[in-house]
Structure 1
Amino acid sequence: MQDFPGPGGGGAEPGGGAQVPVEVVVERAVKQLVLPRPVIRTSPDADFVQVVHVPTWMWVDRSTWDPVTASAEVEGLKVTATARPQKAVWSMGEGGSAVCRGSGTPYSAAYDAKAASPDCGYTYQHASIGMPGRAFTVSVRVTWDVEWHGGGQAGVVPGLVMAASRQLTVDEVQAVITR
């Protein structure tokens, strides 16, 4: 595959008329894409407290990880663009981050309760008590690459990004041993 064709990549129509450059139609097709905003999911659930030194599982809701396709047509030149999510980059609010190559694995009872996520997790080292709102702001940036084809050509438009954030409260739990 190739990136956008260079200047004059549209060529000329048979009969001498100027043809619309394919990059113009590619740009229109890419603008037609409606990429979903990622929906952040965690285990423990984000509505509950995360615990220092206990693995937090993270994933992007699967409904926001499906390919998205759009087409554009100008003067008989049709281009179809398909965007696919490539990775999720998480910023955890305490200075740490995680890069996940997929949407992540939702936690289920099939996993050991103490186990780390097999593909997208983070373990907090500090409580969020000193932060505004007593919570860390967690954000995820999902990067999409767009493959396009039309007019006998194909290419890739890399690096479209959709982002989301939410607050996560992280606390320390201390055990008290009594005899």
Structure 2
Amino acid sequence: MNKYENRLIRGNRLKHVIKKLHDLLKESKAISPNYQKYSISNTETCLYLYFNQSEGYAEKLRFDFYSSKEPLQVDEIKMYSLINYMDDIINTSSNATKRQNLPIVFVVADKAMKSDMTKKVFTDKVNTFFSADEYRNTEYCSYTMSASARKDRVQKRIKLLWDAIN
């Protein structure tokens, strides 16, 4: 865990889910070793956005969320299913697993699961969307530049990715 572990009340509630996703990110062949050092931060961002899908994910918002004493309802089986649903993307797509993209993919994966999209179809569509040539020329990419954690940019990226794969 990170340096805030003892203060992160909700983080402790989610520690098993955080560990599973963190381990998957840490072991991914698609993520460069230089980038893997951010895997805990990425994990916390993914889970924060999952529980706050109408928000952005600035660091203060994430810290306040994980430090809150309010109860948090967590369906760990559903969370593990979602992580398993995404594991092929995490292991194959270097663009989808970038810091600014992974939380968006995580939220969209939840939507795809709810709409009964198969894991293979979801993986293929997300990998196609984030393929090197296509990705650089999308409206989505323009929203990943500076201030990418702002609410309006996060919400636009969720919508653009969902529209593209749905």
Both proteins in one fold, TM over 0.5: no
Task: State the TM-score, normalized to the length of structure 1.
Answer: 0.19
Higher-Rg member (1/2): 1
Higher fraction of helix? 2
Task: State the TM-score, normalized to the length of structure 2.
Answer: 0.20
